[in-house]
A and B are shown apart, each in its own frame.
Chain A
Amino acid sequence: MKNKIKYIISFCLCSMLTISCDKELLTPIPQTSITDITSFDTPERVANQARSMYSALKNGNFYGGRYIAYGDIRGEDFINETTNGVTGFDVWNLNPTGTSQNSVKNLWSQAYYTINLCNLFIDGMAAKGTAVVGSTLSANYLGEAMLIRALSYYSLLQYYARPFADGSGSKPGLPLRLTGIKGSGSSDLARSTVAQVYTQILSDLNFAETNLPLTNVAAENTTRAHRNTAIALKTRVYLSMQNYASVITEANKIVAQSVAPFSATSGVLHALQPSITTIFLTNYVTTESIFSLPMTVTGGDNPGTQNQLGLYFVRNGASLGAAEYSLNASGIIANAGWTAADVRRASLIFTNPTTLKQFVSKYQNGSPYLDYPPVIRYAEVLLNLAEAIARTTAGVDAKALALVNAVRKRSDPATTIVATTQQQLIDAIMLERRIEFLGEGLRNNDLMRLLQTIPAKGSVPAKTPSETGYIWPISSDELSLNRLMTDN
């Protein structure tokens, strides 16, 4: 009898061994993200994905900060203050290596991450998204994707490939990736030529021009692309290819007048603001800012540590005049023609009262550094047009002169730029670019497209176009993982 009880108890206990578990516990679903198969299921998800491409572009390693900063510190107008390898010391020194994580590797991977998001989005729209949001909205979104992809490829070319001018784009360009990648096995892809990449960039921008809306809701005319954004970027791209005729064609679409004041007359009505300080200090989203990237205090929606333009150029936290880079006393700041009254000197240069060092103060906001990094603004379109005309027209072209004076006189009404030869005009325009876009990342691209020697600064010697380090090496990760990749 007692044995029987023991067996029964034993049996009951043993049966606990076979207790079936909760199947749901074995197949948990992530609660903080969306699985890829459902990522295009609703109009909201598609809209959120469209914005994610901008977010990637806005990353601190890319247009949110570093890309723009590198464009300036490679040039001759800045002096490194901190010798910090994390904040571009090697970039400034013109000697980053393929293993330089913060510069060479991070910019490369962030730009391609942005490109892949665009590609995935383009693919996903074709597969499902267009049906979810309808063809009109879909075309707008695709235009944005194409534009961001084009801008990313363009930006990469400026650092990792020989300028177009070196052999008319025949030199090795970039691996040209046009379909979205979600898994392994796609690493190997050879470099297309520089010209081939530019062709793709222009194809994307042309698509964007056709499919983007003429205008966005007002608040997003600066922070999201519209038709004129594509056109403006094309003036920059053609200028880098020294295709001046096309610069003129594109620019004329949004520079309708032959004499000042200049403005766009369709789409978003771009025009210079009366004061340049407005667009940096007061209102980031005027019609002059064709494309800038918005920042907010929320974590992840601002540049992040050691990426902020403000940190590079003017301030560290509460301290104005304590940036990573000061202005080179013998750089553009020494230019005598740039008068003290010029608003760009009077209001956008900060002199540290103690050290007397000077800093570009276009990005004055302290932590968490919410200045909108400018991607392109109308002043550049004007100067792109002026330069294209000047370089292709003998003598001193009146419109070109008017364009450069429009930019100068906006900030320095008392000064009028005069030129008596074509070369003088070109020089004046190039000088104006250095002054106008100081701290906006265009200097490197200007040196590159003209195959000019990078001038010496501080302890860094000049770098001729034939020297190692004139362009960046390729990311060592790319070289080791993409068997078809070649180094510079």
Chain B
Amino acid sequence: MRKLILIVSAVFVFTLQAAAQNRTITGKVTDEKALPVEGVSITTPNGKQGTQTEKDGSYSISVPASAKSLIFSIVNFESQTKTLGANLVINVSLKTRDIKLDEVVVVGYGTQKKREVTGSLSSVKGAAVADKPVQSFEQALAGRATGVQITIPNGVLNTPPVFRIRGTSSLSLSSYPLIIIDGIPSPVGDFSSTSAAGNALASINPNDIESIDIAKDAAATAIYGSRAANGVVFITTKKGKSGKAKINYNASFGFTSVYGVPEVLNAQQYTDYKNQAIANNQNLNPVTNRFNLTNGPDGKPIDTKWADYVYRQGFAQDHNLNISGANETTSYYFSAGYTKQEGIVRSNDFVRKNILMNVDSRFNKHVTIGGKISYSNELNLANQSTGSLSGEGFGTAGLGRTQFVTAPNISPYKNDGTYNISSAGNFIGGMNNTFAQVGFYNPVVGLDLNRQNSETNHIQSNVYLVYKPFNWLTLKSIYGIDYLFVDNEIFASPVHGDGFAGIGSATSTLGKYKRWTWANTAQLDYTIKQKHSISALIGQEQDRRTSRGFGINRTQVSDPVFNVLQAGWLLNNSAGSVHGENYLKSLFGRLNYDFNKKYFISGNLRQDEYSAFPGQKATFWGFSAGWNLNNEKFWGRMKNVFSSFRLHSSYGKVGNNSIGDYDTYSQYGPGIYGGNSTLTFSQAGNNKLKWETSKKFDAGINFGILNERINVEASYFKNNITDLILRVPQAPSTGLPNAIPINVGKMYNKGVEIALNLIPVQKKEFVWSINFNYTNIQNRITELAPGLTEVLTATSGLETVNRTAVGQSMGSLWLVRTTGVDPATGSRVLLNQLGNRVLYRFAPGPGQFNWSNEDGTQYKKADGSANTINQTADAVMYNALPKYYGGLTNNFRYKNFDLDVLLTYQGGNYVYYGSWSGLHDQRFWNNHVDVLNAWKKFGDISSVPRPVYGDNLSNGSALPMTYSLFKGDFIKIKNVSLGYTVPADALKRLKISNARFYVSGQNLFIFSNYPGPDPEVSSNGNATSGQGVDRNTIANGRTITVGLNVGF
């Protein structure tokens, strides 16, 4: 300690030296090619004197006689310190900084040099997510970072993607990573309560992001303790860079269109096919039950392509303006953005207006203060449910389904131009068909008259103070708020559709989600004898969240002209009630030590107390070690081969705390019976509940060859997750109101990650770089609750195809096997658990059976009673989680042209294309064109069974079957972007410093055998155990964008 004080004092005395006499130093700063460098900051060590170089690299600075040296620094170059002697002219040649080696990454509560990091991190430059036709940055992360899996679940704008780092780390809690934006945790997920998705992360304009650092293993994440199990993503927004104020303006315009819409029967084909199905149903009278064409106003038979009413070509525009700069003491970044995007579904729009202000000011040598203000207003607009968000799959209004099931021989309009609505009002009108129902809602009415809007106002702000009393000590306090206010506004017209039964319905709810976070840290950095580097951090953090929501639902409109909540309505009910609070209090610390930049060790520790686990404390930790072999003497000649070579490994324990605020309590909730109040057992809690625990092991190797032109990062990871909080369903006959959360269950994710960075060509005029990443991952459930053999997950509460069971991967698809169609009878052939073929026949005639053996005899149980094929007895499991995924980026720069091509891929998984079942349903539903090849006569080989009107089992609607199961493997040309940078000379006269034009395409092409629009899909959104389902989901859009970046 005494030694420490001595050293400190020495530094102190040194800095105090001041003298009265000044002298002027001049010179020129050049780069390695002897070209002048502008904007180089030249300061005395105490920071009291400073200047910058002019355009020609020259400078002049007046310094006191006491000044012993000058520091020359600028971004992208290595800083130099020149000792002052007698010479009053000092010319400096700066060396370009080896960015690769000096890259800094954000770690919790600080930064670290990338090459010194011993944990497992992936970094993505902000540029990779900027200028993309996305609503939130993480949508553009797919394929960019090793270990990161992004699935865009559907084509509804601003849907949170399925975001996984090294797999799904929880079964019933969130598996979304913790997102830290400029040091403050951010809410994640869909905060909209309407059919227009509202991803909380859309508030960050992707163009404002400087870098994205993704922490994956325990060492890198343990400092976030109980929230770190899913990985941590650090978002750093842009800050001003030294130099004069720079103004940047980006604008882009794009068109989005749908791809892969299923091809369905036209009116004539539909009419004929359904009439054939009626003829095949012996219980139906083909005279009274008949499909008929109807002539439209033009006298020709109506032939409606419903998809044309649902989809559109969407136009998007995006504008960003930012002003940034910095002098020696203060840097600032101010940005304003406006984006308006039209989705592929009619009426689905996203509009964001946002501003961001970052200011950092070095008050003096010891004190820096700064902060940011970010405000974003987002409109998530839709008129009608698309049936694509989690829980919407089987909604009657869902456009994803109506666009392919509605009969094509009817029109949205009657011949008199009014809406075609059945006389009963509840369905689209059947026109000349004899059936009361040949569709669900008339989708056009909802698209014209209804609204499902959500408006977000999101304020993210922080202020910090850094006090650096000594070179070795940094004290920092940061206080941030995150206020998210969501206004939901739903109107359902009384004319038809969802609002019909209630004679109109209007709902407005307001959700207020507030958070404050206050973190205080002390960091000690110390190097002994230039060999032992020690860096220690201790800190304390409080994180407080409250949620409040209220609203009203009004039904029975007094006049059909009214379409706002404030108009005349008869019935009023409360809606959107939310009341919650939680509080996280933590102590944490980190110790990094390295010896001679060869051996690195690091330890992280965090203790959390969380209000949702009252009375409990938990400690999380992570240790890691790294070895830089290139700095070893014995490595010898290998140094000529490798430009870098590091080994690292880590182990630690982190947690997941994302349970409800009051899940531990058993509660009685208020209700009402005939106008009198009630008190009902409403929640069975568990006061022994604690954090889920992830024990993560990681071992990796990083090396570079040819001065990093070839760089390889490979790691093995295994994440053992225990104390999984399962909402353990109790037998329904226990009559419990909910599945009880219990810490039981174990699983693991393990795999290998490889990242390959190549620069095959590096010439002045032509640079070609490649990034390839590959993640192989395996998920296994190793234990569920005692007596719990399975956890079933239903899609939209209706169809259960996801099953989680021990020995399988989470949420595997659980389907009855089919093997085509019986050539003799045209019946669907299914396999029972023994693999025996069982035939299904709808509406069997005399002597026939619903379920029969191949010889026509009844399919029976051992006791002789009738038997059926059903999921419980006969279904087989198929993994829904990809076994591998990744991306390939090729970047070319030739003269002023640049081209970036991103391919994403995944595979080894299956997708249940539930819509495929729907497309073959033999109720009134329209069918896929492949039914034209259905079985017709004895001996026909077909994949489509003989149609029998009313049959909804042979196709899989009533019994999920492998008929609708497909491999999910794909390679996608995710993004291609071609740019042209206008030569600087041409811009000079326009006083423009840089300009770039670009054209880019998103989702350009998919290589896949999947028959649906896109195997990258999720009808259950982010549901951990409900992946791999494509049920009535609208597809993704393909976007072509042209844009311009100009800098002044």
Contact = CB atoms under 8 A, between A and B. Distances in A.
B501 interface: yes
A67 interface: no
A477 interface: yes
Interface string B728-752: 1111111111001010000000000
Contact of B678 (A3, A51, A116, A487): A51
Interface in B557-576: 571, 573-575
Contacts of A13: 467, 475, 477, 520, 522
B789 interface: yes
B668 A34 contact: yes
Contacts of B609: 26
A83 B396 CA distance: 12
Contacts of A420: none
Contacts of B729: 477, 481
Given A48-B679, A52-B671, A301-B675, A181 B522 contact: no
Given A10-B467, A51-B673, A223-B674, A36 B666 contact: yes
Interface of B: 8-9, 12, 16, 281, 283-284, 366, 394, 422-427, 436-437, 467, 469-470, 473, 475, 477, 494, 500-503, 520, 522, 538-540, 542, 544, 553, 555-556, 571, 573-575, 577, 579, 581-583, 585, 587, 609-611, 614-615, 661-662, 665-684, 686, 728-737, 740, 742, 785, 787-790, 792, 794, 797-798, 800, 843-844, 850, 865-868, 870-872, 923-924, 949-950, 952-953, 957-959
Given A33-B667, A34-B668, A319-B424, A482 B958 contact: no
Nearest to B869: A97
23 contacts: A6-B470, A10-B475, A14-B475, A17-B539, A21-B585, A33-B662, A34-B667, A48-B678, A54-B678, A56-B680, A81-B436, A187-B731, A298-B672, A301-B672, A319-B500, A354-B423, A355-B436, A461-B283, A461-B843, A468-B865, A477-B792, A482-B731, A482-B733
A51 B672 CA distance: 8
Given A17-B538, A51-B674, A82-B437, 9 more contacts: A14-B522, A52-B680, A101-B794, A181-B734, A187-B787, A298-B675, A317-B425, A461-B843, A467-B866
A289 interface: no
Nearest to B612: A28
Interface stretch (A107-115, A208-216, A228-236, A427-435): A107-115
B923 to A, nearest CB: 5
A99 B872 contact: yes
A300 B677 CA distance: 11
A188 B785 CA distance: 14
Contact of B424 (A36, A54, A322, A468): A322
Contacts of B671: 52, 55, 300
Contacts of A466: 865
A486 interface: no
Contacts of B425: 316-319, 322
A352 B798 contact: no
A480 B790 contact: yes
Contact of A51 (B542, B676, B735): B676
Contacts of A384: none
B9 A368 contact: no
Contact of A35 (B573, B667, B672): B667
Nearest to B798: A101
Interface of A: 2-3, 6-7, 9-10, 13-14, 16-19, 21, 25-28, 30-36, 39, 45, 48-49, 51-52, 54-56, 58, 81-83, 85-86, 90, 95, 97-99, 101-102, 105, 108-109, 112-117, 119-120, 174-175, 177, 181-184, 186-189, 223, 293-301, 305, 311, 316-319, 321-322, 352, 354-355, 357, 366-368, 456, 458-461, 466-468, 473, 475-483, 485, 487
A21 B583 contact: yes
Contacts of A480: 789-790, 792, 872
Given A3-B9, A186-B730, A186-B734, A294 B674 contact: yes
A294 B678 CA distance: 14
A300 B733 contact: no
The 8 closest A-B pairs by CB, nearest first: A322-B424, A116-B735, A294-B674, A317-B501, A299-B573, A482-B731, A48-B679, A6-B469
Contact of A295 (B540, B674, B949): B674
A90 B959 CA distance: 12
Given A112-B734, A181-B735, A16 B424 contact: no
B667 A468 contact: no
Contacts of A17: 520, 522, 538-540, 587
Contacts of A55: 671-673, 678, 680
Nearest to B367: A9
A46 to B, nearest CB: 9
B501 A188 contact: no
Nearest to B425: A319
A212 to B, nearest CB: 17
Contacts of B500: 316-319
A115 B867 contact: no
Contacts of A49: 668, 678-680
Contacts of B677: 48, 51
B674 A296 contact: yes
A27 B662 CA distance: 10
B400 to A, nearest CB: 17
Nearest to B498: A305
Contacts of A83: 437, 923-924, 950, 952
B432 to A, nearest CB: 14
A119 B681 CA distance: 11
A183 B684 contact: yes
